[in-house]
Amino acid sequence: MLTRIKHSILGNVEACAHIIGPVTVAETARIRSGAYIEGPAFIDEESDIGPNCYIRPYTSIGKRVRIGNACEIKNSIIMNEAHIGHLSYVGDSIIGENCNLGAGTITANYRFDAGTVKMMVKDKLVDSGRTKLGAVLGDNVKTGINALLMPGVKVGNNCWIGPNVVVHRDMPSDTAVFLKQNLEERSISL
């Protein structure tokens, strides 16, 4: 679809933002200084991108989306009213409406062993045939800082993923997961 639509840049594009190739920037969208956007890409009404972020080809950004400082978005669909916190990476993923990703959230999109990504579909493990496939998040998902979603993971609606949690399997809707940490304090004698 992104390769077939007629693209136009109508929104507020600040100085030192770079737009390369076929990109649509809706009239009320804002592209902040230092953003680098490669098309084909689509940025809808009232979205706020940057500063200093990288929007890679085949990315579609919905209405009233906020992409924070130093984020990278690649080949992904970001639904309306999502917020991607600064220093985050979203690759080959779908982010549902009204999601809020904390700073440093990563959607891993490549397996360590370079194999194809498998996903659970109707309780069966299905090979996607793709070597690059990130996460699929339902609506109203929230992540804490430095959350990590492994390739092919699906997260249901209304889930909370706490800070520093690694999500390595699907999460059903209305689930919260937090990392339990044991700290040990000792005095150091010099």
Closest CA to 131 of 107, 155, 113, 147: 113
Q: In what order do the strands lie in the sheet with 48-49?
A: 12-13, 30-31, 48-49, 66-67, 83-84, 100-101, 142-143, 160-161, 176-177
Which are the contacts of 72, defined by CB distance < 8 A and separation ≥ 6?
53, 54, 56, 88, 89, 90, 91
Distance CA 177, CA 159 (A): 8
Distance CA 45, CA 47 (A): 6
Are 13 and 19 within 8 A, CB to CB? yes
86 is catalytic: yes
Cα distances (angstroms) measured from residue 169 to each of 8, 96, 150, 177: 40, 18, 8, 12
Query: Which residue in the list 7, 18, 86, 168 is annotated as catalytic?
Result: 86
Catalytic residues: 86
